[in-house]
Amino acid sequence: MLLSELAANEELKNEIALSMQNRSLPHAIIIEGEKGSGKRSLAGIIAKYGVCTSQGARPCGVCPGCIKAEGNIHPDIVTADGNNSGELNIEAVRRIRTDAYIKPNEAPNKVYILLNCERMLPAAQNAFLKVLEEPPQNVMFIMTALSAANLLQTVRSRSRIMTLYPPSVEEAVEVLKRLSPDTPAEAAEQAALEAGGNIGVSLELIASGGEEERKTAEEILRAVPLTTEYPLMLLTNGIAKNRTFAIGVLDRLSSLCAECVRASLGATDASSTAKDIAKAFTRKRLMKLQNSILRARNVLNINVNLNFYSTWLCAVLRTE
């Protein structure tokens, strides 16, 4: 994948392209954005730039370095995922810090892609800070997070923050047609609409249908304004089946709430479901709910007890 293939975010892509042209990308980058916004794709593109051996535009996409990067077999690209146990704990970060001072095997740079860095505890971030403050030559650190605000200020201040936004629904549909050509146009449009233009979430909806998560999210949002909290309590307790299901419901809840806000603003392309739900809320309350849902989604990144979490979620949604 090259920079031109990344959906939307034209201003950011132009900024990155200029930095690539001038060979001025910094050694530490934080890519923030919601799940499915393309953080990992952009990290991969920047990693290709780091290992590309072309004398012209980088990444060229055709040199041995780019081809190995595309196949995830480049020896100078190291990936660690905070969602995988132990990959970004303090011991792992210390190993990365030590390894960073070893010269690249064959590329111009050694590149570290650190995914889901919001899972990195403060002690690990402080350990990582040492190599950010005095970086070795020819090393790039590319971090991804739902929000850079989840990282320590000292880490943020030594990194360039890049924010990804989802494309419009129309743009998303065009991308989905390219990425999933066998998907009926109506299904692609519905997925893009439900996901608020988020490509990753749209693809998940197409692949799995996401029917149970979507239905639960809709029921939760309808239960929020009811005079009694019992229906909402039952629903939030129901998402404690497992963490994956809870994450799916929160992602769909976030997308649906965003669509309800658009419906409250008079968006004609909002679904009939969103238009109907929006009638039960003031716009101000919908926007507060959006923030609460995002906060609840971030809390799921911590190893919380789901039974306690479901009770807390019910209270948070009711008080907004």
Please tell me the class of the 210-319 domain: mainly alpha
Percent of the chain with pLDDT over 90: 63
Cα–Cα dist 128/139, whole Å: 14
62-88 pLDDT, tens digit per residue, is 999 999 999 999 999 999 999 998 999
> At 240, which amino acid appears?
A
In the predicted model, is pLDDT for residue 230 greater than 80? yes
pLDDT at 98 over 70: yes
H or E element at residue 31:
strand 28-32
The maximal CA–CA distance of the chain, rounded, in angstroms, is 67
Residue 44: is its pLDDT beyond 90?
yes
Here the contacts of 300-304 (C-beta below 8 Å, separation 24 or greater) are 300/243, 300/246, 300/247, 300/250, 301/116, 301/118, 301/119, 301/146, 301/150
Neighbours of 297 (CB within 10 A): 19
Q: Which helix (H) or strand (E) holds 220?
A: helix 211-223
Domain spans, the chain: 3-163, 169-209, 210-319
Q: Is the pTM of this model over 0.75?
A: no
Q: Which of 151-155, 244-248, 279-283 has the lowest mean pLDDT?
A: 244-248
Same fold, 3-163 and 210-319: no
For residue 6, what are its two tokens?
């990344």
Lowest mean pLDDT among 40-49, 53-62, 139-148, 245-254: 245-254
Q: In the numeric block, which tokens belong to residue 131?
A: 């190599």
Q: Which amino acid is at 287?
A: M
**CATH number listed for the domain at residues 3-163:** 3.40.50.300
Q: Which residue has the tokens 């991804």?
A: 144
